[in-house]
Structure 1
């Protein structure tokens, strides 16, 4: 009997200024050499940053999840968790302002198959000492391989996780972590002892799309992205006794 292929879900969230990107992004996902079994796009009924009621574009072959709560950018992971509702699968979450080359998914799956089973796989990441906290990883030296352990998994190039790792996240991010999903999700991984393996070659499969209203360049509650990252990291470090 052959091996049963694990279900692979690609998950993302989107904001109204980027709805125009979705067809191109989803098209790149459907054209993968190993296509996803399901694509989930989380579009909240009401946005925290964009007043009014927004209707997502109609894109065939996509599950659109419409929660009442705006999870912020963490919706890329939390939406799939709710839709799959405990089903065992792999979830590859990503941002809505990138498109992906044809072997992007296959690259993640091949990397995961070659690594220990309880590792998060990310295309990009960094260590928490960048935010003034304590990393257990040695500093990266010039010319060092881009494949190594990191503290923070950055979602833009893709992050591959097992669904059960997200099921333990029972609540939306607190206000202090709402705009900085990479910090918040990585804190949950650290809390339960999951290592994050950054496979730098996977980033080559990601190409940026137009990025209007980026949180990266926005000021939220009087803080820029760097300050929000530091504040959330310090809060989560104390709350979960990590990065100390």
Structure 2
């Protein structure tokens, strides 16, 4: 295992994050504050508790994952797309690094960035609601699993994209709508049929409910199914990355 090579990629990607760290951290703080003003105070004051959980606290896991999804995909896709765009991808491919080591460097950095921003949102939420995590270690593990899975997805997206516009297509037209329809700010139990059943075919709903269970011990779907869907999505993205490096698809052309 070429640890020096992995560290070089990781450090390079984190340095890019460090150059814009104040903007990167200020944005989720401002966005979280606005969400709590609108959803937590204005709308939440008119809603009953969901189970034993106040609505303001209930939306925190969904709010965290909404940002984690977009940040993981953006950072990982941009990280691998820029070498393609500048033509330095061939230097990376000719370096004494295996596909696994390259992916660990890029995906590890992207997952780290998104987890930092997610934890900043978590800390900001404490300013607005009384928030207690039922399973803190499982929460961190689940957060890492989601961040790594979507970073792998973003890595695939960055290789697939032929332009900066294509980097935004999937996050804007697929991931964000599915997140809002996946129960990020509401319980699936309040949906009438057949929409509740339709929501069960949304994989994002399982990720959100699994993460919410680590906070409050409640979930609209079976927790094991949530873990299986999350791990399965990560495994699928990992298999796609392995196939890309094995075939050289859009890497060597």
Shorter-chain-normalised TM-score: which range? under 0.3
- Give TM-score scaled by structure 1 length: 0.27
- Give TM-score scaled by structure 2 length: 0.27
Bigger share in helix? 2
